[in-house]
Amino acid sequence: MTKGSITKNLVTFAIPLFFGQLLQQLYNVVDSVVVGNVLGKEALAAVSTTGSLIFLMVGFINGLFMGNSVIIGKSYGAKDYKSVEVATHTGITFAIIMGLVMTVWGYFFTPILLGWMGTPADVMQNSVLYFKIYFLGGLGNILYSACCGVFQAMGDSKRPLHYLMVSTVLNTILDITFVKFLGFGIGGAAFATIIAQFVSAFLAFSKLTRVDGPHRIYIRKLRINKDVLARELRIGFPTGIQNSVIAIGNVVVQSNINAFGSVAMAACGSYFKLEGFVFLPITCMCMALTTFVSQNLGAGEIDRVKKGSIIGSAISIGCAELIGVLVYIYAPVFLRMFSNEEVVLGIGTTQARTESLFFCLLALSHCLAGIYRGAGKTTIPMIVMLSSWCLLRITYITIIVRIIPVVNVIFWAYPLTWSVSSIVFIIYYFKGKWLRVGTAV
C-alpha cells in the first residue's frame, strides 16, 4: 500500500473484498430467501426483525477490533514487526473472550430485546428461536471477523475471500437441506448459519497459525498485552460505539416499522437485505482506505494519503450511485426474490425508490469515516454518527410518524441523515486536523 499506483493498490485490495462482501451478503440473504419462500411472510418477518439487533451486538464488538487493525497496519507500514506480533496475539485473544461474552449475553437477553422492539405476537416465537440459536455461534462470528481484520491490515484481502466462499456454499446447502427437505423450520436456518460461521472461523484461525510473517499466531503466545489492548480500545471503542448508535437508530426504525404489522416488516426486511448489496463497493473501498491510510501514515507518506483519500472516495461514490440507479429501476424484480405477495412488493419498492438515488451520500460518509479511522481519529466518526444517524434519525421518526402515521415517511429518515453526516465530514476533512495529528496512535 505504500508504493506504486494508488488507484491500482486500492482497486486490487478492494476487488477481493468486494467478492468477499458479495458472498457475505449472499450468506445473509440465503436465510431470508429460503425462509420467505418455504415458510411464508410471518417467518420472513421473524428473521427480518432480528437483523438490527444482531448488528447492534456484532457491530459494537467488530468496531472494537478496528483499533487492532489500525495498530497492525501502522506498525507494518513502519516495519515494526514486533508490534505487529503483539497486537495480533492480543487482538485474537480478546476476540475469543468477547465471542464467548456475546454468546451468553445474546442468548439470555433475546426475549427482552425483542420485547423492547415491540415485536408482534405472531412473529415473536420464531424471532426468539432464530435469535437464540444465531447467538450460539457468536464465538465463530467474532473470531472470523478478527482474523480477517489481521489479514486485511497486512494488505491481504484474498484469504478472507477464500474462507468466505467455503462458508457461503456450506450455508446455502445447509439452509436448503434443513428448512426445505428436513423440515427443521426457522431453527434450521439459524443452525445452518452458525455451522458455516464456525467453519470460516476455523479456516481463518488455522491459516494464521501457519502463515509466514509477523502476524503469525502461536497458540502459546495467545495472551493479552494490557498496554496494547488499551491502545486498541482507545481507537476501536469509538468505532464500536458508532456502530452501536447506528444500530440503535435502526432498532428504533425497526420498532416503528413493527407497529405497521408483519407485512411492513417483511417488505422492509426484504429491502434491507437488498440494500446490503449497495454497501458492497462502499464497504470495500472504506476498508481499503482504512488500511491504505494507516500503512501510509506509518510510513510517513502524507501526500500519498491525501491523494488516496480522494481517489478512493470518488470510486466508491460513483459505484454506489450507479447501483442506486439500478435499484430504483429494477426494485420490484430484485425484491421478488424474497416474496411474491404484491402488498409486500409494493411497500419494499416504495422504500427502494425513496432511498436509492441518495446512495452517493451514504458512500461519501462511509469513505470519510474510514479515512479518519485509518488515521486513528475514530472519535470524530463516532460523534457525527451519534448525532446524525442516531439522535437526528430517532427525533425525525418520533415526530413525523405521529404527525403522518404511514410507513412511507420512515424511509426519508435515511437520505436526511446521510446528507447531514456528509456535510459535517466534508467540513472536517478540509480543516485538515485529522491528517496533522493522524500519525499518533
- At residue 439, the pLDDT reads 39
Out of 291-295, 334-338, 353-357, give the one with best mean pLDDT.
Answer: 353-357
Only one residue has cell 508504493, namely 3
Please answer whether residues 425 and 369 qualify as being in contact, where contact means their C-beta atoms are separated by less than 8 angstroms. Answer: yes
**Would you place residue 282 in the very low, low, confident or very high pLDDT band (cuts 50, 70, 90)?**
confident
Handedness of CA 167, 19, 389, 43 (dihedral sign): negative
Q: How far, in Å, CA of 181 to CA of 156, rounded?
A: 39
- At residue 93, the pLDDT reads 96
- At residue 41, the pLDDT reads 67
441 within domain boundaries: no
**Would you place residue 436 in the very low, low, confident or very high pLDDT band (cuts 50, 70, 90)?**
low
* pLDDT at 440 exceeding the cut of 60: no
* pLDDT at 156 exceeding the cut of 80: yes
Q: How far, in Å, CA of 350 to CA of 335, rounded?
A: 11
- Helix or strand or coil: residue 337? coil
pTM above 0.75, yes or no: no
Average pLDDT over the chain, rounded to whole?
A: 84
- At residue 437, the pLDDT reads 44
- At residue 342, the pLDDT reads 83
Handedness of CA 42, 46, 51, 53 (dihedral sign): positive
304 within domain boundaries: yes
- Helix or strand or coil: residue 406? coil
List all residues 6 or more positions away from 99 whose beta carbon is below 8 Å from its beta carbon.
61, 138, 139, 140, 141, 142, 143
**For the segment 298-349, what is each residue's pLDDT rounded down to a tens digit?**
888 888 999 999 999 999 999 889 989 999 999 888 888 777 778 888 888 9
| Widest CA span in the chain | 61
List all residues 6 or more positions away from 282 whose beta carbon is below 8 Å from its beta carbon.
316, 319, 320, 359, 362, 363, 366, 367
1 within domain boundaries: no
Point out the least confidently predicted range of 52-56, 106-110, 129-133, 154-158: 52-56
Please answer whether residues 27 and 305 qualify as being in contact, where contact means their C-beta atoms are separated by less than 8 angstroms. Answer: no
Measured distance between the N- and C-terminal CA atoms of the chain, rounded to whole angstroms: 19
Which amino acid is located at 125 in the chain? Q
Q: How far, in Å, CA of 354 to CA of 171, rounded?
A: 32
Q: How far, in Å, CA of 146 to CA of 152, rounded?
A: 10
**Would you place residue 53 in the very low, low, confident or very high pLDDT band (cuts 50, 70, 90)?**
low
Point out the least confidently predicted range of 50-64, 172-186, 260-274: 50-64
Q: How far, in Å, CA of 381 to CA of 355, rounded?
A: 22
316 within domain boundaries: yes
Q: Bigger pLDDT: 89 or 242?
A: 89
Q: Bigger pLDDT: 249 or 228?
A: 228
Cell of 235: 481507537
How many beta carbons lie within 10 A of that of residue 61, not counting itself? 23
**For the segment 206-229, what is each residue's pLDDT rounded down to a tens digit?**
999 999 999 999 999 999 999 999
- At residue 83, the pLDDT reads 92
Please answer whether residues 345 and 41 qualify as being in contact, where contact means their C-beta atoms are separated by less than 8 angstroms. Answer: no
For the chain, percent of residues with pLDDT exceeding 70: 92
Please answer whether residues 130 and 187 qualify as being in contact, where contact means their C-beta atoms are separated by less than 8 angstroms. Answer: yes
**DSSP-H helix ranges across 299-358:** 302-335, 342-355
Q: How far, in Å, CA of 328 to CA of 351, rounded?
A: 10
Could you tell me how many residues make up the chain?
441
- At residue 28, the pLDDT reads 63
Q: How far, in Å, CA of 293 to CA of 309, rounded?
A: 8
337 within domain boundaries: yes
Q: How far, in Å, CA of 316 to CA of 369, rounded?
A: 13
Please answer whether residues 72 and 150 qualify as being in contact, where contact means their C-beta atoms are separated by less than 8 angstroms. Answer: yes
**For the segment 362-383, what is each residue's pLDDT rounded down to a tens digit?**
999 999 988 988 887 878 888 8
- 222 phi and psi angles, rounded to 5 deg: -75, 100
How large is the average pLDDT for residues 49-60? Answer: 67
Q: Which domain holds residue 191?
A: 6-436
Q: Is 48 left (phi over 0), alpha (psi -120 to 50) or beta?
A: alpha
Cα→Cα distances 404→32, 65, 230, 262, Å: 30, 41, 47, 20
Question: What DSSP string runs through 53-117?
Answer: HHHHHHHHHHHHHHHHHHHHHHHHHTT-HHHHHHHHHHHHHHHHHHHHHHHHHHHHHHHHHHHHT
312 within domain boundaries: yes
**For the segment 382-397, what is each residue's pLDDT rounded down to a tens digit?**
888 888 888 898 889 8
Q: Bigger pLDDT: 16 or 363?
A: 363
